[in-house]
Structure 1
Amino acid sequence: MTGTLGQPQVNAAHYGYRVVWSAEDGEYFATCLEFPSLSWVAGTRNAAIDGLEALLNDVLEDMRAQGEEVPVPMSERRYSGTFNVRLGEHLHRSLAMHAAEERVSLNQYVSKKLAAG
């Protein structure tokens, strides 16, 4: 489905939302990963998400009307599974040594470490 100017029609519910409790405000604080400048504060988690999603729907509608490019939700983006990281020589050596000790490739070792968080 496409919207104005041939842009894909993006559903606001597909974006990445996060809700955290704000002890300072005594309310829930909702944010959107793809739109870091937007937020909504409300007394309940659901109200915070609902308020932010309604605001985002308005923002998306305005962006489309102005011919602006609408960001693709993170959940709908495609990833190759490959990225490059520059390391210092000492860290590179250390990682290679740990990988060798575990008898795995450096790539497997680093992937395992990243997945472990």
Structure 2
Amino acid sequence: MKYLEHKGYTGSIEYSPEDKLMYGKVLGIQGLLSFEGETGKQLEDDFRSVVDEYLKTCKEEGKIPEKPFKGSFNVRISASLHQKAALRAMEERTSLNSLVAEAIRFHLSREEELA
């Protein structure tokens, strides 16, 4: 397992040899939510507790919790690459967004095939 999952949130898994401690942070949000444990079980338990506490605090304060990986993001590329991609999308009678999404799917599927 590369990541931890709980209530739609994803946590990283890292190890510090110096501290002999596992640690991680919640990914895909701007706020810093970190967790740790000496064992895998402790790490998982702390991750779930951190997410649950975050959601509880947001509710108590009347705030909307950040949603990880909302499905939209900005990509910065060169003007020439932007032009080529936009023209290709027009040729294929699709949107630039669809072209980029397909390119990402293709890249990730190739990566999975190699694993």
Same fold (TM over 0.5): yes
TM-score by length of 2: 0.55
Query: Aligned partners of 1:51 and 1:30: how far apart in 2?
Result: 10
Query: Aligned partners of 1:88 and 1:73: how far apart in 2?
Result: 27
Instruction: Answer yes or no: is the 8 Å Cα contact 1:19–1:45 preserved in 2.
Output: no
| Aligned partner (choices 15, 25, 29) of residue 21 of structure 1 | 15
Q: Which runs of 5+ in 1 are unaligned?
A: 1-11
Q: What is the deviation of 1:88?
A: 2.5
Secondary structure, counterpart of 2:54 in structure 1: helix
In the alignment, structure 1 residue 71 sits paired with structure 2 residue 71: no
Q: What is the deviation of 1:59?
A: 2.4
After superposition, the Cα gap between the structure-2 partners of 1:22 and 1:35, relative to the gap in structure 1 and judged at 3 Å, is farther
Query: Aligned partners of 1:54 and 1:83: how far apart in 2?
Result: 28
Over aligned residues, Cα RMSD in angstroms?
Answer: 3.7
Percent identical: 21
Q: Which residue of 2 aligns with 1:88?
A: 78
Q: Which residue of 2 aligns with 1:43?
A: 38
Instruction: Answer yes or no: is the 8 Å Cα contact 1:27–1:43 preserved in 2.
Output: yes
Secondary structure, counterpart of 2:35 in structure 1: strand
Secondary structure, counterpart of 1:16 in structure 2: strand
Give aligned pairs, total: 97
Query: Aligned partners of 1:83 and 1:59: how far apart in 2?
Result: 23
Which structure's relative contact order is higher, taking Cα pairs within 8 Å and 6+ residues apart?
1
Q: What is the deviation of 1:112?
A: 6.5
In the alignment, structure 1 residue 53 sits paired with structure 2 residue 48: yes
Q: What is the deviation of 1:27?
A: 1.1
Q: Which runs of 5+ in 2 are unaligned?
A: 109-115
